[in-house]
């Protein structure tokens, strides 16, 4: 049964209001292991994973009857083998997605001290009616806050908001940050096929509030929305996810969102998609064509340099290029845990980058995330 109100000023007794979940003490064994990990992290510098996901089983059960897969590009544009493989992955990795004890063991194996836990990308639920979307967001956010509350030395949280309604998104953003202590929100790069810059969504009020609160946006794709040519070979993830990020980021730049909101701190997964590695073409277009500078006056890359990128390149030289272009202060360790398209050895990848100073290595491993997410040692 969904509760019916997320307005924090509502006093109607008929409206069941949710509350932050109570913190539960960790087991003695977990507390001991956590203390050991924390001491190790402090000794060598914290390693913080900016890109990892948690699947909320309660929300999954609540939405099952609505068949949310029909709205998910990764499901819609997939052949039978891909769907079968994804279902098997869901079964095989269920514990990694939902069980915190398993997650902590995996973090230790990978050399990660802290995860910035964000929702599974398909649990933004923009397809839902706005009120229901707000209610689902509340369930997702309170569970992430509970995880953080149980083991605050190992986790910080990123929530979700119902972007299908800008006013409700602002309400939930405030609740995430002010009441739950989350460090920002994960959003998808489009809302039911509409660009984040689409005037119909009226998201400038949301972006303004993000700036005011000084929190981060983690913009994570869930396939490419026009994926008819990407159904085979898992292309709508392999190609589609970086493409979706590329298109959405380009709109944020060219449609003036980044110009109107210069204090936005947006993290792009998968090393920024294709745009981060083929940036010069849009600068050329901006100079060469009238239709490419109808809104912004400065070079597109002057806005692109404001974004942050994770390290999920799967290649040392590509990561070196990313660091060279955007600076070691704008690149952060990421894994995409626990999915099979993730980076299994994030520390090893960063350590393999040639000509990387010890100071820059520590910035990428955790220093940048500490600053961006306001994490204290």
What is the residue whose two structure tokens read 């600068």?
283
CA 229 to each of CA 70, 74, 87, 237, 247: distance values in angstroms, whole numbers, following the listed order: 18, 12, 22, 12, 16
Measure the CA–CA gap between 105 and 81, rounded to whole angstroms: 31
On whether residue 20 sits in a domain, the answer given is: no
Which H or E run includes 119? strand 114-119
CA 61 to each of CA 84, 97, 178: distance values in angstroms, whole numbers, following the listed order: 20, 15, 28
280: CB partners within 8 A, 6+ apart: 301
Measure the CA–CA gap between 31 and 3, rounded to whole angstroms: 34
319: CB partners within 8 A, 6+ apart: 271, 311, 313, 331, 349, 350, 353
Q: Tell me, what's the pLDDT at 38? A: 57
Q: Tell me, what's the pLDDT at 238? A: 97
CA 68 to each of CA 64, 163, 234, 299: distance values in angstroms, whole numbers, following the listed order: 7, 16, 19, 39
On whether residue 353 sits in a domain, the answer given is: yes
Q: Tell me, what's the pLDDT at 377? A: 75
Phi and psi angles of residue 159, each rounded to the nearest 5 degrees, phi first: -100, -160
Measure the CA–CA gap between 141 and 185, rounded to whole angstroms: 9
Please give the span between the terminal C-alpha atoms of the chain, in angstroms, as a whole number.
41
CATH number at residue 120: 3.20.20.140
Structural domain count of the chain: 1
On whether residue 335 sits in a domain, the answer given is: yes
Neighbours of 86 (CB within 10 A): 17
Measure the CA–CA gap between 332 and 323, rounded to whole angstroms: 10
Q: Tell me, what's the pLDDT at 13? A: 36
Output the six-digit token pair for 330. Answer: 């704008």
DSSP string, 251-289: HHHHTTHHHH-TT--EEESGGGTTGGGSTHHHHHHHHH-
pLDDT in tens, the chain (377 residues): 343 454 444 444 334 444 444 455 556 555 555 556 555 656 679 999 999 999 999 999 999 999 999 999 999 999 999 999 999 999 999 999 999 999 999 999 999 999 999 999 999 999 999 999 999 999 999 999 999 999 999 999 999 999 999 999 999 999 999 999 999 999 999 999 999 999 999 999 999 999 999 999 999 999 999 999 999 999 999 999 999 999 999 999 999 999 999 999 999 999 999 999 999 999 999 999 999 999 999 999 999 999 999 999 999 999 999 999 999 999 999 999 999 999 999 999 999 999 999 999 999 999 999 999 999 87
DSSP string, 42-111: HHH---EEEEEEE--HHHHHHHGGG-GGGG-HHHHT--HHHHHHHHHHHHHTHHHHH-HHHHHHHHHHHT
On whether residue 17 sits in a domain, the answer given is: no
Residues belonging to the chain: 377
On whether residue 72 sits in a domain, the answer given is: yes
Closest by CA to 144, choosing from 133, 159, 129, is 159
Q: Which residues span the domain enclosing 324? A: 42-373
On whether residue 112 sits in a domain, the answer given is: yes
On whether residue 3 sits in a domain, the answer given is: no
Are 313 and 283 spatial neighbours (Cβ–Cβ below 8 Å)? Answer: no
On whether residue 9 sits in a domain, the answer given is: no
Neighbours of 347 (CB within 10 A): 17
Peptide bond into 106 cis (omega under 30): no
């Amino acid at each position: 049964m969904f509760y019916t109100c997320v307005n924090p000023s509502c006093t109607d007794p008929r409206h069941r209001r949710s509350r932050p979940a109570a913190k539960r003490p960790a087991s003695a064994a977990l507390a001991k292991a956590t203390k050991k990990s924390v001491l190790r992290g402090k000794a060598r510098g914290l390693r913080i994973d900016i890109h990892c996901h948690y699947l909320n089983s309660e929300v999954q059960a609540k939405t099952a009857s609505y068949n949310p897969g029909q709205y998910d590009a990764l499901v819609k544009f997939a052949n039978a083998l891909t769907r079968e493989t994804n279902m098997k992955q869901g079964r095989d990795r269920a514990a990694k997605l939902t069980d915190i004890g398993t997650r902590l063991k995996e973090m230790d194996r990978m050399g990660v001290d802290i995860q910035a836990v964000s929702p599974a990308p398909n649990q933004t639920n923009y397809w839902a009616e706005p009120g229901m979307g707000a209610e689902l967001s509340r369930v997702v956010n309170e569970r992430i806050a509970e995880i953080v509350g149980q083991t605050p030395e190992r986790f910080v949280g990123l929530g979700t908001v119902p972007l299908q309604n800008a006013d409700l998104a602002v309400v939930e953003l405030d609740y995430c940050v002010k009441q739950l202590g989350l460090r920002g929100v994960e959003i998808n790069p489009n809302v039911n096929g509409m660009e984040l810059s689409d005037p119909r969504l009226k998201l400038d009020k949301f972006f303004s509030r993000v700036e005011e609160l000084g929190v981060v946006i983690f913009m994570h794709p869930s396939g490419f929305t026009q994926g008819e040519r990407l159904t085979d070979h898992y292309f709508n993830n392999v190609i589609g996810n970086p493409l979706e990020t590329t298109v959405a980021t380009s709109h944020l730049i060219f449609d003036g969102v980044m110009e109107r909101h210069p204090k936005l701190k947006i993290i792009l997964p998968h090393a920024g998609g294709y745009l981060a590695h083929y940036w010069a073409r849009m600068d050329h277009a901006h100079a060469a064509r009238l239709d490419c500078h109808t809104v912004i006056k400065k070079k597109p890359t002057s806005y692109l340099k404001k974004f942050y990128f994770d390290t999920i390149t799967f290649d040392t030289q590509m990561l070196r290029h990313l660091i060279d272009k955007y600076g070691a202060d704008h690149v952060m360790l990421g894994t995409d845990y626990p999915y099979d398209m993730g980076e299994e050895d994030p520390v090893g990848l960063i350590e393999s980058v040639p000509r990387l100073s010890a100071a820059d290595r520590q910035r990428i491993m955790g220093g940048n995330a500490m600053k961006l997410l306001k994490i204290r040692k």
